[in-house]
Structure formats: structure tokens, C-alpha cells
Structure 1
């Protein structure tokens, strides 16, 4: 091999070696760079974690300091409330400096009312409209120390138109009670005495097995003080006896209340305000039939032909010795002005005769009404009754027949004949001779009225056979 060829061979070898040395060097440099980058990332992570840990510890230490101080807790609570308030209403306050709102059921306070006068025409509460800055409206809703009132100083008996007033509202608000003007009446109070009754309250909380009776009540009458106009509305005054969960005899001071015809409590002064009562509790009961008892005058030309009850029986409760002999319970049904078939609802059973309680308090009564007519019937034969001696009895002249009128419903009168009517004379104890005797009439339907139109006395001859 020539020197030139050897030189070329060495040059190629040197170039290859140098190439691989460079590749290895680059790989080392890349590995070193990658290692440095990883070390830097690891250091950054460590530093970040340390920073977050220190911040977390700082927050914990700060909260511990705040929670260990009452003042700090109050400040924090106020700040949180402020944030909450702003989040809910802050936008309205900022964007609507003037707004409107209403207050419902605001009590009306009456001041300086003469105790000898009765006031009417004032509602218990009113609605109040507010117009003004939103912040002041929210303040009113938050504090609730406002008042709507009526000042009656120097007012005497009479009728007046008055304006409601307001107090403790911010001056920036326009306050509008609805209604703002009232027509009131002031009347002098008088005293009146009323009989005292009683009613049981909370009966739904009394076991159905038991019934309560009032054995003794310390007062039988009370004095009511109110205007004459109010006293005229009083229908009954009753002690309210609480029977909830009672299973044995008890005593209590029952509150006394006055009621109108609609069972609405009336605002009157009552003396005394309570009455001491002694009550007994019994568990005896029995079932009895219900019967209607008609009261009031049914209009002329009409008659009750039948009636139906919504229930034909009822359970009564009370002491056994007091109710064991009761065989029927009657209800008073007012038929005044009834001219057609009518259902009268909620007819109340009356306590009494030892009855403490009924299984139901009322019954519905359907009354069937028909027009009545009157018919005259002549030539009704007069029969002789109680002729125990078998005498021969004859009537003088035309005295052997009677004329009557019958009154009843059209259906009953239409089917009535002389066979359904009896006219008679009674000869029991009479001796032979001419006698003047009374004529009596009867009809076989007790709902038909009968009247004798011919002479009430006839002459008869009694002879021996």
C-alpha cells in the first residue's frame, strides 16, 4: 500500500472516530441538561409546597387568634352579614335609591280612650305603604319598632272621622296606612246582668268513651259592661270549660265569654271574668231513637204530611242513674213559614235530663209539606155506644145523623168517606126516658182534623125492649 493510500485510510478512520466522539459528547451534554432541568423542577416544586404550607399555617394562626377573641368574632360576623346583605339587596340599594314596599298586619294602637266609652270602627291591624330610600325601608323591616296609632284624647260620645298616625319611621319615608281615615263611634257603656251558661271546649281531645257533666258552678249570672248597641247583640254568656284528656272528676276556673247569634265572641267587659266549676266524668252510654218535635205555626193552608231524619238513632252519654230511663231524644224543629218540602239542617240536640253528650251534635230534618183542604160530609150516622142494658134507643126528628167538616191533605181527604168517620152518643148510665145527650165525632186518621157542624146535642128516647 502506498503512503498516500495509508494517509487516506487514516483520515477516514480519524473522521469516523471524531464523529462518534461528537455524538457521545452531545449525548452527555443532553443528559446533563435533562438532569439539571429535573433538579430545577424538583427545587421549584419544593419551594412552592413550602410557600403554600407557610400560608396555610398563617391562615390557621390568624383564625385561631380571631376565634379566641369575642370582639374579633363580632367584627367577623358583622363583616359576613354585610357581605350577605349586599349579595341579596345591595344591587337594589345601589341601583334603586328610591323604592316602595308594604308592611302587612300592622297593629293599630289606641291611646287615651275614655274608659267609660266603647269604641267601634277601628280595625285590629292595617296595611302600611312605604315610599322612600331603599336603605331606610330595609332598616324599618329590620328594626320593627314602628307604630300606627290613634289618639282619642278629649274625644267624647259621638261619631267622628279620624286619621291614623305613625311614629318611629325615618323622616325620609312617606308612610301611608291603608285605610288612613276611619269612621269611629264612641258610645257610653252601661251594665247589664245575664244568665251564665257553659260550653265544653276541646271536646275532640276527650276520649269518646267519656262524657262530662257540670255538677256545680260558683256563679249563675254575670255583669256585662258595654254599649247598649253591643249588649243587644248578646245571645248567650258561657263559661268555657276545657275537657281535654279528662277521665275523672275535676275542678277548674273557666273563662267566661259572650257570644252573638252567629257564635262570634263579642268584645265586652265581663265581671267576673272566670267562674269556678266542678265537673263529673262518666263513661256510661246507651242508644235511643230520635224523634222530631215541631214548633212554630205552619202557615194556614199547609200541613206536615211526613218527615225524615238524617239519623234515626243516637248514642247518649251520662251518669247511668240519670239517663237509664231515657227512651227517646226529641229535637225541636221550627216549621214557621214552611210552605214546601224543606230540609232543615243542623238542628241541635239539647243537653238536659242528665245527658252530658251526644254521639253527634246535630241532625238534619226533611219536612214534607202538602196543601190542606176542607171537605163537608153530611148524613154521617150517629151510633149508640155502651148500651149495656140493651135498651131501644131512637132519635127525635132528624137527630140520627151528623154533619162534619174534615181538614187534611188533598190526598187524604180525596180518599175519605163517611165510613172513615164516626159520630156517636154514649148512653152508659142513662135510664128509660127522653134524654139530651152530647154528640162526639172521630176519624180513623189522626192527622185529619174533624169538626162537628150539626148540633152538638141531640134528643134521644130510651125505651125498654
Structure 2
């Protein structure tokens, strides 16, 4: 036995046999096909079983005059037969699944789902096998197309929607009469996000909706329309009005306040634009100004303004020293004193007082008592002593401080 195993021919033969076995194992592994989730393959001798899912169902009907509902879009099929018939059928899909509705009257019918193009040696099972369908006479009506908008609030700044039109202005909607009766509105939607110029003949799909806003599955002819939309940008130039708060440090007054640019462009609707006469700045705090200065100041657009260009202006402020001047013996006028009453001044003792005027040297130059008006209202006063506030007016730009803010009088 040992001598037999030591024979070189025996060893060579065993090696050859092992090589053949290894080669055969590799070939068998390469020929195993990966699984297909859409099909189930069960070998049974020369027989083969396949499952085909989502096979489309065709409808045979007079489409010019009728519409149908209730037909499933797809069916699942189990087929069994010889390998030589099943394999090419599955690969080529050279068959048809359909419902034959030719000759049926309008109404509801239970019909068989049929097939053709499958060899007679193949057994077929389908799920579902039948369908309950409703046949209705086809109806066609014309409807006007409304232009509507997506993202209208996201138009480019300063722009607004103008007139819109669709071409053609009407479309034909075709379906069953019951579906056509549901039509409430036909729309063509235009996306306005970041739009900053007119839309000219943009092709837009047509959508059909019922009164609840549900989109209807109907045939529309044509399926698209060309939409044009005017995109307007109403604007005008208005002057800038500076707004201040606080007071300048003692001893100073504003010599000049210049705005650059003095006019800015304001965008608003046509209606609002007609009522806009000016635009104000944000408040300028005078208490922080101690010398001539130039500053960037933001504008404060009102809520009816969509856009302002530019958004900031330069304000140049020149200061000058404030002067004071005492104006003596300015008359006090008494208004509305009853004819049968007498008024006597207690404080001041006479019907006049001094005032202090504050302003620039230029503003105070040449002013006199006649440039100021002091008055009190004595109407509806009973006899007795009264304190009356003094009303004061004077030259523009000149601040006035009266000797008495209230005077004391006696009514008799």
C-alpha cells in the first residue's frame, strides 16, 4: 500500500482530480444568479414559476365619447409553465393586460381583467382578477384661465404686481360630466420670487381645482398657456426732513444743517405714493454735538413705503455761539375781556414786560419790541384775582424767555 502511494503516477492522478473538482466548484458559484426581488423563481424540473408585480393595465374603450374610472393601474401576475416559454415571456414582456369595455353602456360594471400574447402552455393567475368600473359619457366645457402667483411677497424690493394676462384666455376641460361639474376654477401659477422685471409670455402649466381647492384629474386643452405679468416700480423723489432731539450745549445754536442728498427716491404703491410728501431722518441727538460735524444718518421710512434709495444721508451741522438780547417793554395784549369788565395788572404792574431773546448774532441783529407778541386770554373770568399764562411769538429761529411766564391780574 505504501509503495502504491509513493508511485509518481498515482500522485499526479490525485492532483489532476483535485484540480478538476476545484474548477467545477468555482464555475458553479459564478453561474448562481443574484436574487430578483420582483420575481420568485421556483425550479420544478422543466417547469418554472414567476411572479411579476406592477404590470400595467390598458383600457379598451371609445375614448372620444366615454371616460372610465375604477380600473386599477397595475396588477400582479403569477405565471407557471415550461422554462422555454416562461423565460422569454418574462424577459421580453411581449404581452398585454387590459379591460375590454367596448360596447358597454354608461353605468357601473364588474369586468374581468384579461390578457393577450401569453402562450397557451402557461397558466396565469392575476390579482385582482376583476374590477368594478364606472363608465360615463365624456363632457367638454370651456373655462377662463386665472393668473395666480407663488411667492408674491418675495418680489424684488420696490416692485409690485401690475396687470396679468394668459394666452389663450380660455381652455377646454374634458372628463366625465360629473367631474366637469366639479370644476370651480382654472389657474396658471407664476413664481414671482426675486422677479424684478415684467414677465413676457412665460409658458405655465394649467391646473384645475374644485370648490374645496382640490386639484382635479381631468384633460385640459391646451395643457399650458403663455402668461404675461406687468411688474411695476412706482416711485418719486421727496425731500428729506431732519428730526432732532435734545438741546445743544449752553451757549451754542445751529448755524446751518445741510442734508446730502436733499431729495431721495421713495418706492410705494401708486395710491400711497400720492400721499407721501417727505421722508424724515432718524432722530439726531443735539446734546452730543459740541462742534461742527458731518454724520451719516439713517432715514426712517413710514410703513407705506416699500423702499428708499439711498437708505442713509449725510447731515452737515455748523454751530455758532448763542447771543442773548433783552428786549424791554414788550406790550401785553388782553384778549376776550368782557366789555363790562375791567382788568388791572398786579404782576407785572403795567401791561408790558421784558423778554430775553436768544439766537445768533445775525438773528438778533436789529430786532425790536415790535417783533414780539405777548398776549393773555381773559375770556370767561369771574371777578377776582387770576393768574394767566402768557402766549409768546417772535422771529423765526429766535428763542424767547419772558420775564413772567404767568401774570397776575384783577378782574372787576
Q: TM class by shorter-chain length?
A: 0.3 to 0.5
Q: Which one has the largest radius of gyration?
A: 1
Greater percentage in strand: 2
